[in-house]
Amino acid sequence: MTRVAAVDCGTNSIRLLIADVEDGRVRDVHREMRIVRLGEGVDATGRFAEAALERTRAALVDYAALLREHEVPTVRMVATSATRDAGNRDEFFAMTADVLGAAVPGAVAEVITGAEEAELSFRGAIGELDSAAAPFVVVDLGGGSTEVVLGSTDVDGAAPAATMGYASHSANIGCVRLTERCLRSDPPTAAEIADARAVVRDALAAAFADVPVERARTWVGVAGTMTTLAALAMNLVAYDSDVIHLSRVGFGDLTRVCDELLAMTRSQRAALGPMHEGRVDVIGGGAIVVQELARALGERAGIAELVVSEHDILDGIVLSIA
């Protein structure tokens, strides 16, 4: 058994997984998420804000303490969309090396490409799924980008890049980026929503040119927008990851929940039991991406439901180093 840790630093959140891995199976020791909005304003300015860097540093200090507490010898930290775009990302790297390196000597953050992000997300998401339901189209909807991946695993659990028919695309849309670009009113106006849909459809058209989703039999969604939508569709009074994991949401319920969120004010969304406070102002952007994905996958692949997984890129990162 090998103890390792993964840190995923995205546009909206920073997450930690400390796990024991044996024979390719991941057993959680500690899993945690903080909303730090590292990518706040990056789409417009091309730079990290000092306040965003400080929020991220504060969370990482706590994560470093947990790495020491659980005696983790190996950690891999990856940064994704916002860090790929930020002109002052050297400040981010210096901060992460200082904080993370104090807990695990030599540990640093790395920026991964959209293709690497897609593969890690896919590997983490499908580990518990029945191979008979393949091919899978896995969608990792983040704050700054959305990864669309098609593939399956062989009987030996090979990485998706080694399987027949694997394809991926990283679209430069996400709940934070889309909200900042298009959804400025509270609630967003019909014109703002129409503009956002046009942006998403253009981005997904490029994704589907690379990824033949018509071959997919099962749609798997990961990350906070997807899991929150599932919780709301099931009418949960509070977020419950055990109930949400591997739940199935029909497109009728999925579309209804998305429409309801887009019609709500910020205060109404904040009052929803499963809603994390850090998602309140960006969940509408995510809802539009999900609706457009559902429409396209229904038309192209005849898929009628979303399978939601709580296991995602964090699990993929852990497996990559165990």
Average pLDDT over residues 169-188: 94
Q: Which of 111, 141, 174 is the last residue of a domain?
A: 111
- Is 164's pLDDT higher than 50? no
Average pLDDT over residues 4-17: 93
Q: Which of 68, 85, 111 is the last residue of a domain?
A: 111
Assess if residue 117 is contained within a domain: no
What are the beta bridge partners of residue 5?
18, 75
Range of the domain at 195: 128-313
| Contact (CB, 8 A) for 40 and 82 | no
Same-domain check for residues 36 and 63: yes
- Is 161's pLDDT higher than 60? no
pLDDT per position as a tens digit, 70-92: 999 999 999 987 788 788 989 99
Q: Which of 111, 137, 161 is the last residue of a domain?
A: 111
Same-domain check for residues 174 and 293: yes
**CATH number for the domain harbouring residue 24:** 3.30.420.40
Assess if residue 318 is contained within a domain: no
Same-domain check for residues 178 and 241: yes
> In the sheet where 25-35 sits, what is the strand order?
25-35, 13-22, 2-9, 75-79, 109-111
Assess if residue 321 is contained within a domain: no
| Contact (CB, 8 A) for 219 and 297 | yes
Same-domain check for residues 103 and 133: no
Assess if residue 116 is contained within a domain: no
Same-domain check for residues 206 and 271: yes
pLDDT per position as a tens digit, 102-123: 999 888 889 888 888 888 999 8
pLDDT per position as a tens digit, 28-44: 999 999 999 998 888 88
Confidence category of residue 24, pLDDT binned at 50, 70, 90: confident
Same-domain check for residues 106 and 7: yes
| Tokens, residue 261 | 């969120």
Same-domain check for residues 21 and 86: yes
